[in-house]
Amino acid sequence: MSARPSSAALRGGNADTRPHPSKPFPIGLLGHGTVGSAFDTLLGERSPYVQRLTGRAPVLAGTLTRSQGSFEEILAGSELVVELLGGIEPAREYVLRAMRAGRHVVTANKQLLSQHGEELFAAAAENGVQLRFEAAVAGVVPVVRVLAESLAGAHLERIHGIVNGTTNFILSEMERGSSYQEALAETQRQGYAEADPSDDVSGRDAAAKMAILARLAFGTPVHLDEVPYEGIEHLQADDLQYARELGLGLKLIGTAERRDGGLSVRVHPAFLYAGHPLASVRGPFNAVTVESDAITEITMSGPGAGGRQTASAVLGDVVSVMRPPCVPPPPLEPLALVRDVSSSFYLHMEVADRPGVLGEVANVLGDCGASIKSVVQRGLGENARLVMVIHPISQSRLDDALQRIAELDFLRSAPRAIRVIEEEFNV
C-alpha cells in the first residue's frame, strides 16, 4: 500500500497551508476501528501543530485492517508503528517485528502488555526503541507517564484504581436503584459496554490494567494470570442502598500495594467512605490514586475510554517519541489574555428585614445583566441575611451591580461575592 496522509489532512481540515520544508514523520497505523479511525482523524487535525512543536509533520504511511494494507509495506515506510488492533496475535508479532526493525511503537493494548510485557520491554531495550502505552490504562488519564516519569524516583506504597469505566457506570446506575441486569442494559444502550461485556464485569479487564500499573510502580513483572479478580455480577442493588445510608459507596477497585514484604495485586468490589478520593468518581470515568510517604496521595481522573479520548493519549505518546518530553513548546502564536471573565457568583448581603428588599436587589442585578439562580433568606431580628447564586455575569458588570447594591439604603454591610464554578464532570 502506498504512503498517504491521514484522511483529515487530505480533506484539508484546519491544516497549515504554509510549505513544510522538513521531512515528514511517517507513522504506520495497525487497526482502523474505534480508536484507530479516531487517531487518523486527530492526526490530520493536529499534524500542523505537532510539526511546530517537533519540526516534523506526522503523516500516516499506511493503515492495516483485516481487509486492507500490508504489514511489510507499512513497516518499510514508517519510523513509528501505532498498534490499535487489540488482542494478542497478530498484535504481538507485529509489535515485536516493528521493534526489531528499529521502529518505535505506541500501543493501547492492555491484553498484550499484561501477558507479554516482559518480552516486549526486553525487545524495546535490545533494539534501542521506545515502547509507549499511555492509552492501555485508564484511557486519557496520564497515569502511565506519571508512574514511569514523574514518580520514577518515589518509593510507592499503594495504588488504588477505578480502571474500568463500564463497571463504574453499572455501579452508578445501581446506586440509583437499578438492578444489575437493568444497569448493564442501560450501559450497553449508552455505548459504554460491549455486546459481550464479560471481561469488564468479571474484573479481568481491570486486572490486566492493574498488572501493568503494578509493573510500573513496583518494578516487579506481574502477569495477568497472577492477579486474582472478582467481578460485580453478584452484587445486589439493595447492598448499595443500605451502604449509602451508612455513608459508603461501592466501586470495583484495583489495588497494587506492598504487603508483608511482598506485592499484592488484586481486583474486587469494595466499599469506600464518602471522603475517599475515589468515592465521587461516577459513570464511565476512571481514576487512580497513588500513595507514598513522600507524596502522601495523588489522584488522577478522567475519561477511561472512547475513541477520540484514547486517540488523544496515543497522539501524546507519538509526540513524546518525536521530541524529548517536558520541554516547553516553542512560542507559538500568542493568545490574547482575557481579563473580564464571566462567572456565576455567590452573593451575601445583610439587609433590613422589610418587604421589597429582594425585589430591589433583583432589579439592580437585572439592570446589570444578571439573573438570580437560587436564593436563601434568613431573618436576624430586625435584619435579614440574603444569600443567592446568580447566573454567569462578567466581572465588570458584577462590579457595577455590587456598587449599586452597596448604595441601597437597606444594606447593613458591604455585599460579598465569591465565584462559583458550575461545571460538573461526573455523571
Ligand X SMILES: NC(=O)c1ccc[n+]([C@@H]2O[C@H](COP(=O)([O-])OP(=O)(O)OC[C@H]3O[C@@H](n4cnc5c(N)ncnc54)[C@H](OP(=O)(O)O)[C@@H]3O)[C@@H](O)[C@H]2O)c1
The single residue among 46, 110, 209, 251 that binds ligand X, judged by CB under 6 A, is 110
Spell out the alpha helix ranges (H) of 101-252: 110-127, 143-145, 165-175, 180-189, 198-201, 204-218, 237-245
**Least distance CB 308 / ligand X (angstroms):** 9
- Considering only 1, 3, 13, 34, the residue that binds ligand X (CB under 6 A) is 34
Q: Does 209 participate in catalysis according to the annotation?
A: yes
HSE value, Cβ hemisphere, 13 Å, CA-based, for 293:
3
In angstroms, rounded to a whole number, what is the distance separating the alpha carbons of residues 392 and 370? 7
CB 379, min distance to ligand X, A: 54
| Smallest gap from residue 209 Cβ to ligand X (A) | 10
- 188 contacts ligand X (rule: CB under 6 A): no
Buried b (16+ CB within 10 A) or exposed e, 228-253: ebebbeebebeebeeeeeeebbbbbb
**Residues that contact ligand X, how many (by CB under 6 A):** 23
Applying CB under 6 A, the span of 29-37, 48-56, 143-151, 177-185 interacting with ligand X comes to: 29-37
- CA–CA separation, 279 vs 272, rounded Å? 6
Instruction: Choose between 56 and 209: whose C-beta lies nearer to ligand X.
Output: 209
| 139 counts as binding ligand X under rule CB under 6 A | yes
Residue type, 193: A
Contact 384/344 with Cβ under 8 angstroms? no
Chain CA centroid to CA 133, Å: 15
Which position among 33, 102, 191, 228 is part of the footprint of ligand X (CB under 6 A)? 33
Tell me which of 110, 209, 251, 373 is the catalytic residue: 209
Contact between 196 and ligand X by CB under 6 A: the answer reads no
Q: Are 26 and 61 in contact (CB under 8 A)?
A: yes
- CA dist., res. 367 & res. 386, Å (int): 19
State which of positions 50-109 bind ligand X (CB under 6 A). Answer: 64-67, 84-86, 90, 108-109
How far apart CA 132 and CA 148 sit, in angstroms, is 10
User: In this chain, which residue has its C-beta nearest to ligand X?
Assistant: 33
Residue type, 205: D
Distance of closest approach, residue 135 Cβ to ligand X, in angstroms: 5
Q: How far is the CB of 200 from ligand X (least distance, A)?
A: 11
Site for ligand X in 257-316 (CB under 6 A): 305-307, 310
Comparing CA positions, the residue from 249, 204, 198 lying closest to residue 426 is 249
In angstroms, what is the minimal distance from the CB of 79 to ligand X? 21
Residue from 31, 117, 197, 254 in contact with ligand X (CB under 6 A): 31
The residues that touch ligand X, with contacts defined as CB under 6 A, are 31-36, 64-67, 84-86, 90, 108-110, 135, 139, 305-307, 310
Enumerate the active-site residues: 209
